Amino acid sequence: MLGLPGRRLPSAEFLLLLPFLLLLLLPAAPAPHRAAYKPVIVVHGLFDSSYSFRHLLEYINETHPGTAVTVLDLFDGRESLRPLWEQVQGFREAVAPIMAKALQGVHLICYSQGGLVCRALLSVMDEHNVDSFISLSSPQMGQYGDTNYLKWLFPTSMRSNLYRICYSPWGQEFSICNYWHDPHHDDLYLNASSFLALINGERDHPNATAWRKNFLRLGRLVLIGGPDDGVITPWQSSFFGFYDANETVLEMEKQLVYLRDSFGLKTLLARGAIVRCPMAGISHTAWHSNRTLYETCIEPWLS
């Protein structure tokens, strides 16, 4: 067969490759859809600000790219000494719009004093949609120890007599006193505590049943702390352990709030929704910047 004058016919090899070349010109198939990570809300602790969590923000962005992370910038510095119920109201107004937009739920990472603020939020918010509440070195059963914070705030008091201040109406105007838990003056604590005794369900109040129901909307409770914290006293308070009257630490399962299931702790454990992640060698101010801690105790729960 003769070709056209001045033109060459395509070679056989080219004709064999032509279907594959045409495939290259077709539009690429869309990438498989990956479910977005749930938004993360971070609540700081005493004398902190959002800047303290820059490393944590970096870790989340690196391991879970695209995650919407909000480090709430409320009650910073000395403002964190404001009464905790006042702080709960402020944080509630800040988190509600975030939750409303997150149809699949949110995660809370709450550090130190902020862990108590978040637990109160879980109690008072009827329609919260928190999947994981990560309590990062927080005195969940209260604080009973001399720290630099206390020495600065109450320079003439020691832990043995601080109850005289904290269990007064004046003392309850300071956030630290809202969770001061003196095991030698339990009756005074139960009568005077305007915050911790209420969210623990240790004192009767008209909202107790509703608060327990709200708390149990929680998907998972992750408790993080360790023996080298140096601030939370006893450090087991991060895991709902605390002193008895002899200052012997009783673990969570031996606490009355657990045995009575006063706010839902026993129910959460029974459904397998409590994760305990103790870690040694981390001081109190390093929890939110320790990469190993993040990878071990936080990142697995940020779905």
Catalytic residues: 112, 229, 284
Count of CB atoms situated within 10 Å of the CB of 219? 16
Cβ neighbourhood burial of 294 (10 Å; 0-12, 13-18, 19+):
buried
User: Hey, what long-range contacts does 49-57 have (CB within 8 A, 24 or more apart)?
Assistant: 49/73, 49/76, 49/77, 50/76, 52/288, 53/111, 53/288, 55/288, 55/289, 55/291, 56/109, 56/288, 56/289, 56/294, 56/298
Here the tokens at position 302 are 């940020």
Site of tokens 């103790």: 278
231's tokens: 């601030």
Q: What's the burial of 275, exposed, middle or buried (CB within 10 Å: 0-12/13-18/19+)?
A: middle
